[in-house]
Amino acid sequence: MKISIVVTQEEHFKFAQEICDTIESSALLRGTGIAKRTPEYIQKKMANGDAMIALADGKFAGFCYIESWQHGQFVAHSGLIVHPDYRNLGLAKKIKSKVFEYSLQKYPDAKIFGITTGLAVMKINSDLGYKPVPFSELTTDPSFWAGCKTCTNFQILQSKENKMCLCTGMLYDPKDKPKDPPRHPFNEAVLSRLKKIKQALFLNKLLSFIFLFKI
């Protein structure tokens, strides 16, 4: 089986619906929040060359796209997904690495960031040189945060004025040298514990609110 990872073009429009469906079903299976995408939005990214797709003998195997914010000062990678038939092959890391290198070429001065609840994505980001940061170090562009409206955790984000959520913010600054080797070794146990603490804090506040409301 030969899998190729390429920059998208209009010829890949036919995969847009399948990509959206795979992203949504994967989020439902994991029980995590997700910012939903439409096929039209995915096709726009494809046409602009702001996405990469993995193809296995002509079939959709994986995908990720690029978004830029604040006039190119920040860049985010979104919609990273691998089709169920091609998981456990290390494909997500290969796609992310390709998109990362492509972003450095296309947006050489931009800070690359992401927010995620997935430990696997956190590990990939850490291996590339990202570091965990507070949301205050990420883009302030309201358009980015508006993209979280379809996520099940959006009310939490709103209540914290876009400063905190169940997601962990991670940032790569190209001005920080050297890039190799990664400067922020991934500690899965620490990040997993951090995620559980954040969830417990939000749950306690929610229960307190419900109790007061009933009174």
Judge if 127 and 167 occupy the same domain: yes
- Global pTM? 0.76
Judge if 144 and 73 occupy the same domain: yes
Amino acid in position 37: R
Largest Cα–Cα separation, the chain: 63
Q: Which domain holds residue 198?
A: 183-214
Judge if 117 and 56 occupy the same domain: yes
Position 13 pLDDT exceeds 60: yes
Predicted local confidence at residue 177, as pLDDT:
62
Judge if 170 and 187 occupy the same domain: no
Position 199 pLDDT exceeds 80: no
Judge if 19 and 85 occupy the same domain: yes
Query: Confidence band (pLDDT; 50, 70, 90) for 209?
Result: very low
Number of H helices, E strands in the chain: 7, 7
Tell me the DSSP string of 26-40: HHHHHT-------HH
Judge if 95 and 199 occupy the same domain: no
Arithmetic mean of pLDDT, 194-211: 55
Judge if 198 and 133 occupy the same domain: no
Lowest-pLDDT choice from 15-24, 103-112, 151-160: 151-160
Q: Give dist(CA 178, CA 104) in Å, integer.
A: 14
Arithmetic mean of pLDDT, 81-109: 95
